[in-house]
Amino acid sequence: MKNASCTVCMLKSKAARSLQHSELDLLGESCVQAVFEPGETIFKQGALSSNIIYLQTGLVKLTIKGPQRVQIMRLKKAPSYLGVPTTMGDKINHYSAIAVERCTACFIDINTFKELLKVNPAFSYEIMLELCRNELEQYQRCVKLVQNQVYGRLAANLLIFANEIYNSNEYDLPLNRNDLADLVCTSRETVSRLLAELAKESIIEVEGKHIRILDNERLENISEKG
């Protein structure tokens, strides 16, 4: 862990770029940077939280304990802020953030964060924008999970990896089959079967964790219709 100098940071968020010099210094004083290896917990459900986390690089999963088992709410790619709702909304974290790929993250003291929200409207606006977009994405994901069949849910998530996370039709899944199942709300076995099925139909190519989308059109069709 090291103290960050936000003034010269090349990975500043859009929000932080709207801060004045003095405000960046303030941010830097209360900001600590840390690296997380895959599988390491960045913050934990149930624990007391007094930080907002700015994810500079990497990919995390947000998980929450359900009545039956742990659910992956969503994946979140850097750059983004983590834990704003759970740190501002309550003392205790309502969900956990776990690194899926190697991550670098800045821990910002909640009081400093609140102060910046108060004194700099441009900063607040950017944060607000990110929160709103998150909420819209969550609503979309929610209806999809509730109303689509597994086949469509899996297809949708394969497309999200391609279009929103890796920007490529070919990528290595950062999750094992079990996590992928938790993300799509199904069982590990079903994920295995459906991936094999999609491969048999020549819609995708699967080699372990390596995925290559061959027929984008059909995959999107499946994603929509379930």
Partner DNA sequence: GCATTAACCACAG
Partner DNA sequence: CTGTGGTTAATGC
Q: Which residues bind DNA (CB under 7 A)?
A: 149-151, 176-178, 185-193, 195-196, 206, 208-209
CB of 77 to DNA, least distance (A): 21
Q: Cβ neighbours of residue 48 under 8 Å, at least 6 residues apart? A: 91, 92, 93
Report, in Å, the least distance between residue 207 CB and DNA.
Answer: 9
Omega within 30 of 0 (cis) for the link into 79:
yes
Q: Considering the complex, what minimum distance in angstroms separates the CB of residue 81 from DNA?
A: 29
Q: Centre a 10 Å sphere on the Cβ of residue 175 and count the other Cβ atoms it contains.
A: 19
**Least Å distance between CB 74 and DNA?**
18
**Residue 199 three-state SS:** helix
H-only helix segments in the chain? 21-29, 84-88, 110-119, 121-147, 150-160, 177-184, 188-200, 216-225
Task: Give 78 or 154: the residue with its C-beta nearer to DNA.
Answer: 154
Q: What's 50's DSSP letter?
A: -
Whole-angstrom distance, CA of residue 103 vs CA of residue 208: 23
Of the pair 33, 186, the CB lying nearest DNA is at: 186
Q: What is the CB neighbour count within 10 angstroms for residue 108?
A: 25
Closest to 215 measured CA to CA, from 110, 129, 137, 223: 223
**Which residues does 143 contact at the CB level (< 8 Å), separation at least 6?**
none
Q: How far is the CB of 69 from DNA (least distance, A)?
A: 9
For 12, the 3-state DSSP assignment is coil
Choice between 67 and 208, CB closer to DNA: 208
For DNA, the closer of residues 132 and 196 by Cβ is: 196
32 versus 206: smaller Cβ distance to DNA: 206
| Shortest distance in whole angstroms from residue 144 CB to DNA | 12
State in angstroms the smallest separation of the CB of 62 from DNA.
Answer: 19
Nearer to DNA, 41 or 134 (CB): 41
**In the complex with DNA, which residue's Cβ is closer, 21 or 69?**
69
